[in-house]
Structure 1
Amino acid sequence: MSNLVMVMPYQAYIAKAHQEGFRISAIWDRAVADRLYGSQAGAYLAEVQAQVEEFRLVDFTDRTAYAEAIRAAVREFNADYVWHLGSEDSMATAYQTAAELGRAVNPPEAVTLVNDKLAMRRLLRERGISTVRFAEAGHWSEVAGLLADFELPVVLKPTTLAGSRGTYLLTDPADLPAWGQSLAGYQYDGPLLVEEYLRGPEFSVETLTVDGVHHVIGVTRKLLGPLPHFVEMGHLFPEPDSDQTRQVAALAVTLLDAAGYRCGPAHTEVIVTADGPRIVESQARLGGDKIPVIIELATGIDVKQEVFAALAGRAPAAPRSRSVGHIAFLDLPLGVLRAVRGLEAVRELDFVDSVSFPFKVGQTIAQTVNSKTRHGFVILTGADAAQALERADRVRSMITVEVEAPALAGQVVTP
């Protein structure tokens, strides 16, 4: 039995940790929960508190109070480790504090090199790995002065935001003020990246690291939505074994080695260009968008459980694909929802695992501009990728909505 301080432990993780013999002292931020769960945040945190041995609330943006909460939890809970598997924007303080206390699962420098897009780009440039032309700006107003060194379009990225928030394909410099305004909507005023636009199919590599050894769970094919916002509209797992897949996986492992990553999950995004695979970004956590669910459907491997097995020092089981798991996001007409049909019929299909439809009658279906503004999803399986994609198209055709064509239809809403 080990005592574990966890920052932002999702409910789905808590039972898995207990099964591996860990007791949990949980640290959460109510404002973060509000952003993730809206009106259900209070109930969500109450359930977390009921399931763990110790519970604290703190403001992650108050670094002094946040660090002190970790120190107090380690001291009072007699913790063996501090671990953060939630949103990467609050990881740095957690790992720095854990390292000071000798309780870090990973060196804080390794987590920063994996999570921070600018730090990762600098590392790759220094090591001559997956070279991508880039420049850095302290503020969006500086970007225009950097464009002379690039061929348009270019990709613009906040260095520490996740979930496609603020990532934008710039084709016309006249659009920069509008992009700057969207960053303000995210309350982001940090450093930015200007990167060459990488063209080609996109994948993510799902890994679990145990004692510095990186185990590849598999490669996920990513289905990108319409530009300029780079929001994925689907994922397929696993991508079949091939020379290309092995190159993509090997590149992710090379990054984790270079960063000095020691333990836990990582999710590394790669585009295969005409010049070979190039790293887009990485995160020191499991992949989002229900990727762990489609991995389990496809292989039977519960990667959430394997995460805590890794912390206990056990390597993950070798993945064996039995089907293809697919999450397909919906793309609905924009407007005020008046009626929806077909959801129950979809749920009854034997190849459908789950359906999420986040709108109620009277709510506005707005344009998708990041991962939080998508229109719901279906998770399903197929014998192969072709069948999974065909089944997703069938499901989309079964779900019909009536919307009132509103003045809001073209409005971009940023949550």
Structure 2
Amino acid sequence: MRLTVELRAPHAGPGPLPRLREAVVLVDGVLNGAPFKQACREAGLPVIGVYTFDRQTLVGMSPQHAEEDAVSLYGNDPDRITARLKELTNTVAAVVPATEPGVCCAAEVAAQWGLPANPVPTASACRDKRLMRDLARRTGVRVPAYEVVKDAAGLHDAAHRIGFPLIVKPATGAASHNVFLADDDRKLAGVFAGDRRDLFGGAVDEWLVEEYVGGTEYAVNTFTVAGRHTVVDTWQYRLPSADNYDNPYWDFVQVDRATPTRAKVERFALGILDAFGIRIGPCHVEIKLDKAGPALIEIGARLPGAGIPLLWQRHSDWLPYHDTLACYLGRRPALADRPPRFDATVGMCFIRNDGPPGVLRTLEGLDQVADHPGVEEVIAPFSPGDSVPRTRNLGTELAKVRVSAPTGRALQSLIASVRRTVRAEIVPDPTV
């Protein structure tokens, strides 16, 4: 991608850009961009925004992504970015990866400036699932059996070697985008029939064909300072049945510390951090637990998405964006010494369309839900009259409801009440 520069206020006139005395480089500050920029503003540090993925996808995902940037750079070549940064600022104070595609670029740019970062040799393995699986296997971390394929013929052959049911996913995917569950040959046909891009607009050149690991799925969130890991919390993906799935987003809830399986998956997650050489900052580790034990599904060396850090800010004694910035600035945040203290159990539920695509005729009950005690936020991307897809990945749900309650049991009761209250009617699209 060619490196381009966009100028932001306060400099609006012609001529060279004013040189910044010191700046934070925020890489892919998209979904988590605004709160990171607030933390930088409170620290008195201007932001140079670096955006590494497809421009059209970037604008569609976050039209206001560049707000509050002193300068915005678009490109993914670390050497060119570093050269441009040397023209823009006397000092880079920190390089912070904010969203998944920026993890590798951030590590390389930070290394060129001699700044705190995770090691470059393993940074790509926290993004590319081919490298992720290879590194895990070499270091003794259990992962699903898998093969990498390029075309339909390779997909068919790999599927029969691995066996059904199986999962097919883009090597650089995220949020279940373009992930397929296949329990027979017929289900394989859709893999190459649709969009051949990952969530961030990158072309998908290879796919992983993976053994389907049953059991329960967890997400362990961690924070590392100078190689010392702290578990922030653990979440469980809860579904309405025990059927196999490719979309885990139904109920996503914080797990009570006394839950027996929590200790097992957290120990496994900490071992993954060591295997991947994680030295600094937040990580989001997705794990499945079956009869054979835990298996790594994915590791992301960045804050989690779906608004989880916002719930942390409201219901714990730590500030995830401020502490992440502090860590990359070379300071020692409080989380280095103890896990956060929560005043509630938090979670979210997703109102899905599990039927065919169509037109949303009605979506009732959201106003009532918003008034429920413990409902933090209701996000509904679709309105009556909109065409809606089948919910297959994060971002295609009819509504997402963030919730909190004094206990896990009370949280489950609140989520059940939300589901009883919200009603959607979807009718066939007459234009199709």
Question: How would you bin the TM-score normalised by the shorter chain?
Answer: 0.7 to 0.9
Offset from partner CA, 1:368-399 (integer Å, 9 cap, x none): 12112111211111222232122122122222
User: Where do 5+ consecutive residues of structure 2 fail to align?
Assistant: 1-20
SS in 2 for 1:31: helix
SS in 2 for 1:12: helix
Q: Which of residues 227, 231, 242 is equivalent to 1:212?
A: 227
Note if contact 2:22-2:89 (Cα within 8 Å) is conserved in structure 1: no
Mapped pair 1:175 → 2:167: no
Mapping of 1:237-386 within 5 angstroms?
A: 237-311=254-328, 312-316=331-335, 318-332=339-353, 335-386=358-409
Q: Which of residues 19, 26, 40 is equivalent to 1:6?
A: 26
Distance 1:153 1:20, change over 3 A: same
Which residue of the partner structure matches residue 33 of structure 1?
Answer: 58
SS in 2 for 1:230: coil
Note if contact 1:20-1:309 (Cα within 8 Å) is conserved in structure 2: no
> 2: CA distance between counterparts of 1:113 and 1:247?
23
Which residue of the partner structure matches residue 72 of structure 2?
Answer: 56
Give the drift of 1:69. 3.4
Distance 1:296 1:6, change over 3 A: closer
Which residue of the partner structure matches residue 95 of structure 1?
Answer: 107
Offset from partner CA, 1:31-60 (integer Å, 9 cap, x none): 3432313xxx1xx135x2xx34x2124244
Give the drift of 1:110. 2.6
> 2: CA distance between counterparts of 1:195 and 1:247?
23
Q: Which of residues 119, 122, 140 is equivalent to 1:107?
A: 119
> 2: CA distance between counterparts of 1:404 and 1:205?
38
Mapped pair 1:234 → 2:251: yes
SS in 1 for 2:403: strand
Note if contact 1:205-1:252 (Cα within 8 Å) is conserved in structure 2: yes
> Aligned residues: percent identity?
22
Structure 1 counterpart of 2:59, which letter?
D
Note if contact 1:140-1:192 (Cα within 8 Å) is conserved in structure 2: no
> 2: CA distance between counterparts of 1:84 and 1:293?
18
Structure 1 counterpart of 2:290, which letter?
T
Distance 1:390 1:236, change over 3 A: same
> 2: CA distance between counterparts of 1:377 and 1:4?
32
Note if contact 1:208-1:265 (Cα within 8 Å) is conserved in structure 2: yes
Normalised to the residue count of structure 1, the TM-score between the two structures is 0.86
Give the drift of 1:300. 4.0
Bigger mean CA offset, 120-129 vs 238-247: 238-247
> 1: CA distance between counterparts of 2:151 and 2:332?
43
Which residue of the partner structure matches residue 137 of structure 1?
Answer: 149
Note if contact 1:82-1:98 (Cα within 8 Å) is conserved in structure 2: yes
Note if contact 2:22-2:92 (Cα within 8 Å) is conserved in structure 1: yes
The structure whose residues are more often helix, as a share, is 1
Give the drift of 1:139. 3.8
Cα RMSD, aligned residues only: 2.7
> 1: CA distance between counterparts of 2:294 and 2:207?
23
Offset from partner CA, 1:328-355 (integer Å, 9 cap, x none): 1112575323444332222222211111
Which residue of the partner structure matches residue 202 of structure 1?
Answer: 217
Give the drift of 1:140. 4.7
Offset from partner CA, 1:272-323 (integer Å, 9 cap, x none): 1101111111111111111223334443433222212322232415322332
Give the drift of 1:232. 1.6
Distance 1:337 1:167, change over 3 A: closer
> 2: CA distance between counterparts of 1:189 and 1:20?
39
Q: Which of residues 126, 132, 135 is equivalent to 1:120?
A: 132
Distance 1:126 1:28, change over 3 A: closer
> 2: CA distance between counterparts of 1:163 and 1:74?
35
Distance 1:88 1:178, change over 3 A: same
SS in 2 for 1:88: coil
Give the drift of 1:236. 0.9
Structure 1 counterpart of 2:216, which letter?
P
Bigger mean CA offset, 173-182 vs 202-211: 173-182
Which residue of the partner structure matches residue 3 of structure 2?
Answer: none
Note if contact 1:169-1:229 (Cα within 8 Å) is conserved in structure 2: yes
Note if contact 2:92-2:113 (Cα within 8 Å) is conserved in structure 1: no
Distance 1:381 1:366, change over 3 A: same
> 2: CA distance between counterparts of 1:377 and 1:158?
25
Matched pairs, number: 396
Note if contact 1:356-1:377 (Cα within 8 Å) is conserved in structure 2: yes
> 2: CA distance between counterparts of 1:140 and 1:296?
46
Structure 1 counterpart of 2:404, which letter?
T
